[in-house]
Amino acid sequence: MVAAVMALAACGGPAEPPSGADASTCGRLQGVLDTFVAEGRAPGVAVTVGFADGSTWSGAAGVSDLESGAAMAPVDRFRIGSVTKTFTAALVMLLVEDGVLSLDDVVSRHLTGVPNGDLVTVRQLLQHTSGLADYLYDPAIVSTRSAPHTPAELLAVAQSLTPELAPGERYRYSNTNYVLLGLIVERVTGSTWAAEIRDRILDPTGLSDTFVYGWEEVPGGFVRGYAAAAGGGWDDVTLALHPTVAYAAGCMVSSTPDLVRWSQALHAGRVVSAASLETMKNESRVSEEYPSIRIGLGIFIESADEYGSFLGHAGGLDGFSTEVQLLDGAGHTVAGAFNATEDDDTMRLRTLMNNSWIAVLGL
């Protein structure tokens, strides 16, 4: 989410931001997508906007599959990477509401052998303040990342890693946190994390285009993902990371319309209780790397000055980049995705989201 507010502040905002879709706004949004592809930032891109008045706009540009040349469609699905964490966090909060889990539970109450397990809490896992090292970059995972892994295998790697920080010392993003949360969900429910996500989150919220990839079939599949090739062009890396390796930290598949519906439902209090939602937003720590951002429980929060705050999460893995943001002061939600890895150009996702917001707000 970094730098979105900077673009808005640089442009200056109207006293009353537009409340819904009109022809001018839709034309600006489509222009953002067309330009994004024309500049070679990705083979294809899709964006959906949910406006404050209840109207919705979805658009796409480029291709979903370079081999077939199939055009990207607004309803196409992407691997959403770490946006998965928002679903896991909401599920954990539901279990806290049920009384079967507490944010103050230490990890060792549910899982054995985790470093600092007697000190790290569920709250710290959600907030990335556990200090635990990231399993995803351990050689045992890196060398086998395209092959299936069980949650127990991921846990074994996490158990072998030396913590990088003391619990609660400060924020440091680690996928290990959400793998452990998925396993804790399984221990306290007696079910699988995937089944709980389906039964407690996806079906009740009506997210018909969102799937727990690796545990569920994805009818019709999803777009191909690409990385920039050394000699120019694109390499297909769609399956470079097996979904089971990402597990509760990043395995899910969705479309931008569904991600807008998800964000709207979550922040309207239709998924977790109002009290739980406030906890997710207010139990936050400042990111030392990006001081304008606070890290809540599965939610990133960035000030947008007179517009309120951006609330959401980004996701990136081989061949896919995704982000969803609610601008609470204006009441709009934007979800953007493209089928390319950012690599060294870390501004691709920022550019897409910034320019989408500029189009939405008429700046």
Q: In the chain, which ranges are E strands?
A: 44-50, 56-65, 70-71, 77-79, 226-228, 234-236, 253-255, 285-286, 293-295, 300-303, 309-317, 320-327, 332-338
Using CA of residue 310, residue 316, residue 321, residue 322, what is the dihedral sign? negative
**Tokens (6 digits) for 206:** 């009506």
Q: In 175-218, which ranges are E strands?
A: none
Q: Do the Cβ atoms of 50 and 85 come closer than 8 Å?
A: no
Residue 153 CB neighbours (<10 A): 17
Identified catalytic residue from 82, 254, 255, 321: 82
Q: Do the Cβ atoms of 19 and 340 come closer than 8 Å?
A: no
276 carries an active-site annotation: no
Q: Which of 184, 56, 52, 59 is nearest to 114 (CA)?
A: 184
Rounded Cα–Cα distance for residues 154 and 157 (Å)? 5
- Catalytically annotated residues: 82
